[in-house]
C-alpha cells in the first residue's frame, strides 16, 4: 500500500494524508467491513469487490440500473439503483444477487436503524423501510420537505430535504403506528448528512456551509461557512470531514477547521467513515481514496 503523503508544510502541525486505493471507470459509493471493500460503478452499472491494499478488482457483477448508494449490513450489501427504482441485496462475499426490491421513485440514500434498512427516494420524497430478513417493503413515509440523503443516529433517522430543511424521523413504535417527524431549518440545498460526536452534521451545497444540529434540542448549534460546494460529509477519528464538489477538495470543519484542504483530483461524491479517517469516491477522474489526519 502506498504511504500517506502530507499536504501541509510544517511537520509539527496536523495535516492530511491521502492515497489512492482504486481507479475505476466511475465511483458513486463505497463500502468497507468484514475484511472486504466494495465500490459501485454508475457508468458501467457494476458492483465491484476490490483489495484496497493492491487496488486490484477481485470480483464484479452487473447491476439492474444506475447505482447511487450502498451500505453493508451484516454479510450483505444493499445497493440503491436509481434508474430501475430498486434496492438490490447481494451477498458480500461472492456478490450473489439475493433479491431485488422495488422502492419509490429515485432511491438516493440508504441507512440502517433498529435492524431495518431505510431508503430515501428523492423523486418520490419518501422514506421506505425494508425488513432485511424477509425483504418485505414496509409502508413508505412521505416527507413534506423531501428526501435526498439519509443518516441514522441518536435513535432516529435524519433526512436532508430539497430546500433548506432537515427532517428528523422517529421510526414508528409499535410497527404500524405513525412516525414522529420534526423539521429543522439548515442551509440552502442540504445534501450530505452524517451523525457523530454528539451532533448531526449537514452539508449545504448552495450556501457553502455546514450546519451542526443538536439532536436533543433539534436546534442549530453552529453554522460553519466554508464556501464552495459542500456535498458529502462524514464523522471519523474525532473529525468532521467535508467533500467540496466544485473545488474537488476535502477538508475538516471540526474540531480543526484550520487544516489546509487537500486537492482530490476529482469531485467528491461520497464519504465513508473508516477507522480514524474516511474513504472518498471521486468523479473525473474516478477513484476511491483514503484520507486521515496525521501529526
Residue range 85-119, pLDDT digits in tens: 999 999 999 999 999 999 999 999 999 999 999 99
**Alpha-carbon separation of residue 45 from 122, 125, 173, 180 (angstroms):** 20, 24, 37, 36
- Closest by alpha carbon to 292, among 233, 250, 244? 250
- The whole-number pLDDT of residue 257 equals 66
- The whole-number pLDDT of residue 295 equals 60
Residues of the chain with pLDDT under 50: 1-12
- Closest by alpha carbon to 199, among 224, 219, 185, 229? 219
| CB-CB contact of 14 with 276 (8 Å) | no
- The whole-number pLDDT of residue 171 equals 84
Domains of the chain plus CATH, in order, are 13-28+107-294 (2.130.10.10)
Chain segment 210-225, per-residue pLDDT in tens? 999 999 999 999 999 9
Amino acid at each position: 500500500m502506498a504511504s500517506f503523503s502530507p499536504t501541509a508544510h510544517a511537520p509539527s502541525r496536523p495535516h492530511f494524508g491521502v492515497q489512492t486505493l482504486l481507479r475505476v471507470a466511475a465511483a458513486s459509493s463505497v463500502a468497507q467491513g468484514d475484511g472486504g471493500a466494495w465500490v459501485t460503478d454508475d457508468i458501467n452499472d457494476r458492483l465491484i469487490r476490490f483489495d484496497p491494499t493492491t487496488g486490484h478488482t477481485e470480483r464484479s457483477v452487473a447491476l439492474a440500473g444506475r447505482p447511487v448508494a450502498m451500505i453493508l449490513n451484516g454479510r450483505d450489501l444493499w445497493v440503491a439503483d436509481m434508474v430501475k427504482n430498486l434496492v438490490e441485496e447481494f451477498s458480500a462475499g461472492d456478490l450473489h444477487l439475493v433479491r431485488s426490491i422495488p422502492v419509490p421513485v429515485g432511491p438516493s440514500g440508504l441507512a440502517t436503524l433498529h435492524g431495518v434498512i431505510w431508503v430515501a427516494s428523492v423523486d418520490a420524497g419518501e422514506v421506505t423501510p425494508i425488513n432485511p430478513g424477509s425483504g418485505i417493503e414496509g409502508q413508505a413515509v412521505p416527507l413534506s420537505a423531501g428526501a435526498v440523503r439519509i443518516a441514522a443516529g441518536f435513535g432516529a433517522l435524519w433526512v436532508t430535504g430539497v430546500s433548506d430543511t432537515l427532517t428528523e424521523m422517529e421510526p414508528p413504535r409499535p410497527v404500524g403506528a405513525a412516525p414522529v417527524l420534526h423539521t429543522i431549518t439548515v442551509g440552502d440545498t442540504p445534501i450530505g448528512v452524517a451523525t457523530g460526536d454528539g451532533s448531526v452534521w449537514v452539508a449545504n451545497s448552495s450556501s457553502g456551509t455546514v450546519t451542526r444540529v443538536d439532536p436533543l434540542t433539534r436546534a442549530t448549534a453552529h453554522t460553519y461557512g466554508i464556501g464552495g460546494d459542500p456535498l458529502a460529509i462524514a464523522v471519523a477519528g474525532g473529525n468532521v470531514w467535508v467533500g467540496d464538489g466544485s473545488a474537488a477538495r476535502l477538508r475538516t470543519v471540526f474540531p480543526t477547521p484550520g487544516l489546509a484542504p487537500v486537492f482530490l483530483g476529482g469531485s467528491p461524491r461520497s464519504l465513508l467513515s473508516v477507522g480514524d479517517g474516511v474513504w472518498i469516491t471521486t468523479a473525473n477522474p474516478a477513484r476511491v481514496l483514503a484520507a486521515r489526519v496525521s501529526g
